Structure 1
Amino acid sequence: MGKSILITGGARSGKSLLAERLTLELGRPAIYIATAEAHDAEMEARIAAHVSRRGPEWRTVTAPLDLVGALEESDGQGPRLVDCLTLWLSNLMHAEIDWPDAGDALATTLSAQTSPVVIVTNEVGGGIVPENALARRFRDAAGAINQRIAAAADEVHLCVAGYPMRVK
């Protein structure tokens, strides 16, 4: 069975760099499963910076909604890095897809993988309570899905100011 690692932390905490390093330590070449979509120039620039930083030892698969399918299709082809669970959740909520069921399906899929999977997610519960209902629903959903995937993962790491701490 493949190892699964969840990496969480705040914005710009070093999550992605840690995830890239751990994924490459698990084998090469690696597969980067991107959940982000470029809907504007700023996001296009962010994605381009990530791609150029990773370099040629990575193959990129875009899966804004069908993360389970992307994991199933790529299993057996080397370690995979999913970046990020929070954007995937946002995509699901925007598309009005049942995110609790999708999260359960992801947890089940993780346990069946033969190749390693590293997943990046944002810790969104450390700030103030959002002022609007949509933001509160998203914060609550992110907390729930992070807990579900953390329970299914073999390891969980928290990044703070560029320093990771293993919590599971």
Structure 2
Amino acid sequence: MGELIHLTGPVRSGKSRRAVDLARGFGDGVVFVATYRRDPDDAEMAERVRRHQAERPSGWRTLEAPECVSEALLALDPPPSGVVIDSIALWLADRMEMTDDAVLSAWSADLEAFRTAPFPVVVIGDEVGWSPVPMDPVVRRFRDLAGFLGQRTAAKATEAWLMVAGCPVRLK
């Protein structure tokens, strides 16, 4: 059974950098799962993606925004030596047309597969609820679902870490 590590924290807290540092210890066959679906009209996001790619070892494989992350990972040949999934919030953003129950069910199924995978998995989460309650119902729903997904991930994880100002704080 693999190891499931959950890294969470606010924006620009060092989550992605910490995930890459951890995954360097998983061997040469690491797979980076990018949950963001590229928008050709978003130059700022394209620059963010480019910066993140530059931080990763060049030999890592990238799996871009699969529908079912766990199925896509288990189908890889050769199998990965470790996995980084970045991020829960971007995964969720791509599924906002689904019902809450469907979102939670899909993530729970992926989590179970990550927990039992024959390789370690690092899942990056996002603490988006540390501010006033948003006035917009869609933003409230996103914030609430991101919180529920983070809780489920931390509950299943063998380790959970909060990143604050580039410093990891162990939660479990």
User: Shorter chain as normaliser: what TM range?
Assistant: over 0.9
- The offset of 1:38, in angstroms, is 1.9
- Please list the CA deviations of residues 138-166 of structure 1 after superposition, one character each: whole Å capped at 9, or x if unmatched: 11101111111111111000000000011
* TM-score, normalised by the number of residues in structure 2: 0.91
8 A contact 1:68–1:106 mirrored in 2:
yes
The separation in 2 between residues aligned to 1:133 and 1:62, in whole angstroms, is: 29
Structure 1 residue runs of 4+, over 4 Å off? none
8 A contact 1:5–1:153 mirrored in 2:
yes
Pairwise CA RMSD of aligned residues? 1.5
8 A contact 1:38–1:47 mirrored in 2:
no
In the alignment, structure 1 residue 87 sits paired with structure 2 residue 94 = no
Over the matched positions of the two proteins, sequence identity in percent amounts to 38
**Which one is further off, 70-79 or 138-147?**
70-79
Structure 2: 5+ residue runs without aligned partners? Answer: none
Tell me the SS of whatever aligns to 1:25. helix
8 A contact 1:35–1:65 mirrored in 2:
no
In the alignment, structure 1 residue 104 sits paired with structure 2 residue 104 = no
The aligned residue for residue 142 of structure 1 is 146
The number of equivalent residue pairs is 167
8 A contact 2:31–2:82 mirrored in 1:
yes
Residue type at the aligned position of 2:82: P
Residue type at the aligned position of 1:54: R
Structure 1: 5+ residue runs without aligned partners? Answer: none
The aligned residue for residue 32 of structure 1 is 32
- Of 157, 163, 166, the residue aligned with 2:167 is 163
8 A contact 1:35–1:87 mirrored in 2:
yes
**Which one is further off, 108-117 or 66-75?**
66-75
* TM-score, normalised by the number of residues in structure 1: 0.93
Residue type at the aligned position of 2:80: Q
1:3-152 superposed matches below 5 A: 3-39=3-39, 40-74=42-76, 76-94=79-97, 96=98, 98-152=102-156
